[in-house]
Structure 1
């Protein structure tokens, strides 16, 4: 009888040890303005136009003990583009450029999280922009995680990447240097 109990206890302990650790789910904190999607693009080969997207939503899952299980989904409202120049923003929203009436949203859905150690990783996924879906890689860096002063738990990451606009069907010609847009991402999530 004792032997059966010992085997049952061992089997139960083994089952718990073999159960994969579940990643924690987070909502990206856009309400508290603790996340941003910023961009810069070449202007005439002499400087950059910089700006941001003011409206986006997203979620991510992350577990430090099992980073490969991480997942990210983000949706950007393209009409929220803001380069701090109203007339330019109206033009960029038009069908000359982003055509936000036709392509109201851009969407990123991750497919893999390659942990490089020391808080660094390559976040791989599919970006849909202007009706075209292409795989991209975003090098990311974990900033930190922990309790916040309001009883919640937060985790934060940064990331940078470059997109070749013609890959997404952009046919406007601003010169070869302006075919690449550089994205700078700051993401802070609140655990659900």
Structure 2
């Protein structure tokens, strides 16, 4: 009799656990939303030292990206940002042409660079580390970005009663360009090896 009671209790507990796990999994999937980077509120910039005197500030004017985020559990996945290397801009035509060439981005042969990541490690209420990979010049290498979730909520600007849900994020990181074979100006100090990455964006929740 006692054995029968134990078996029934075990089966009951197993059923409760299974139902709970199914509910949690379903809820997590249901709360994971896809976000698309808003191209009108996206800045991908960089700073690199020039001749040891000052940093040159540049941008990539064409990029796109998306990710999946569960705000309740703060679970991030499916991060993908694609940058057109030909869109590099520093405000100096001759320099920009050089940056597009084979000494640097080699845009005609490598028209895009891509950052991907599958998760984030939260270091505070609003701060996190994003460990991913950067594909550049046909090579994939690890790249860690530090991030801040600045704000999330219904967007205050726009017409109509239905406001899009928007997240605003700041990301920072450093790329050592010589690791990708981009060695021009490294040995003589004309161009810094460390490229400091600056990313600011607003992303809209897909409907």
- Specify the SS of the correspondent of 1:89: helix
Partner of 1:4: none
Moved more, 137-146 or 115-124: 115-124
Q: Does 1:87 align with 2:101?
A: no
**TM-score normalised by L of structure 1:** 0.87
- Separation in 1, partners of 2:183, 2:152: 41
Q: Report how far residue 12 of structure 1 moved.
A: 9.3
Q: Does 1:124 align with 2:131?
A: yes
Q: Does 1:136 align with 2:143?
A: yes
Note closer, same or farther for the CA distance 1:17–1:179 as it changes in structure 2 (3 Å cut): closer
Tell me the alpha carbon deviations over residues 110-162 of structure 1, each in whole angstroms, 9 at most, x when there is no partner.
03211112111101111011111101110000011111134211111101101
Structure 2 residues without counterparts, runs of 5 or longer = 1-11
- Separation in 2, partners of 1:102, 1:94: 9
Structure 1 residues without counterparts, runs of 5 or longer = 1-6
Partner of 2:105: 98
- Specify the SS of the correspondent of 1:29: strand
State whether residues 132 and 169 of structure 1, in contact with CA within 8 Å, keep that contact through their aligned partners in structure 2.
Answer: no
- Specify the SS of the correspondent of 1:173: coil
Q: How many residues align?
A: 183
- Separation in 2, partners of 1:79, 1:67: 34
Moved more, 64-73 or 127-136: 64-73
Q: Does 1:187 align with 2:201?
A: yes
Q: Report how far residue 39 of structure 1 moved.
A: 0.5
State whether residues 67 and 76 of structure 2, in contact with CA within 8 Å, keep that contact through their aligned partners in structure 1.
Answer: no
Larger Rg: 1 or 2?
Answer: 2
**TM-score normalised by L of structure 2:** 0.81
- Separation in 2, partners of 1:132, 1:165: 12
- Specify the SS of the correspondent of 1:123: strand
Moved more, 92-101 or 179-188: 92-101
- Specify the SS of the correspondent of 1:155: strand
